[in-house]
């Protein structure tokens, strides 16, 4: 099985799950990091993303490997990392990382749905759909919501 060089969001959930199992089985190494919403609120989404990248990279720390980051920003401690716009469409390892990230996040949202069923995280996976925004309006934010997100930051 080859990993398609594709944006993970363009694949179906079933395709991502199948590829995830293959990637995990055959990967030399992988890691992922999730930060709490409170961290994102305190340092902003960009800085939180860079922090998570750095932490995930430190869990791997393989000598002689090249680190490719999708986008233009990289953590200061990853000076030798290469940044590349649309790397998930150009570099198979980055596509695989994108699939891992999306599947892990979706699975987390399914678990969070069990804790906070009124938000229907099982349906929208935390994206700002109309149903999600209505649930926040009705129930208020929970511990998973970034209070700095513009829809919540503007509420009284």
129 domain-assigned: yes
Residue 3 lies in a domain: no
Write out pLDDT tens, residues 80-110. Answer: 999 999 999 999 999 999 999 999 999 999 9
Q: Dihedral sign, CA of 9, 20, 104, 125?
A: positive
SS3 82: strand
User: Residue 69's beta-bridge partner residues?
Assistant: 83
Domain assignment of residue 97, yes or no: yes
Distance (Å, rounded) from C-alpha 120 to C-alpha 91?
34
Residue 4 lies in a domain: no
Q: Which domain holds residue 123?
A: 11-153
Buried/exposed code over 42-60 (b: 16+ C-beta within 10 A; e: otherwise): eeeeeebbbbbbbebbeee
Number of domains in the chain: 1
What distance in Å separates the CA atoms of residue 134 and residue 149, rounded to the nearest whole number? Answer: 15
Q: Is position 138 within any domain?
A: yes
pTM: 0.88
Quote the pLDDT of residue 6.
75
For residue 2, is it within any domain? no
Indicate which CATH number applies to the domain containing 140.
3.30.420.10
Instruction: Please write the tens of the pLDDT for every residue from 26-79.
Output: 998 899 999 999 999 999 999 999 999 999 999 986 766 789 999 999 999 999
Tell whether 46 is covered by a domain: yes
Is there a domain that residue 79 lies in?
Answer: yes
């Amino acid at each position: 099985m080859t990993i398609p060089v594709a944006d993970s969001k363009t694949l179906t959930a079933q395709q991502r799950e199948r590829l995830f199992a293959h990637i995990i089985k055959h990967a030399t190494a992988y890691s992922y990091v999730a930060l709490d919403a409170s961290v994102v609120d305190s340092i902003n989404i960009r800085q939180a993303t860079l922090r998570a990248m750095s932490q995930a990279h430190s869990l791997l720390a393989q000598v002689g490997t090249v680190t490719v980051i999708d986008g233009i920003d990289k953590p200061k401690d990853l000076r030798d990392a290469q940044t590349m716009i649309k790397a998930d469409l150009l570099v198979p390892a980055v596509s695989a990382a994108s699939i891992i990230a999306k599947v892990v996040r979706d699975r987390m949202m399914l678990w969070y749905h069990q804790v906070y069923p009124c938000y229907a995280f099982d349906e929208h996976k935390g994206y700002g759909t109309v149903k999600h925004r209505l649930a926040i309006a009705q129930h208020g934010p929970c511990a998973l919501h970034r209070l700095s997100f513009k829809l919540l930051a503007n509420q009284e």
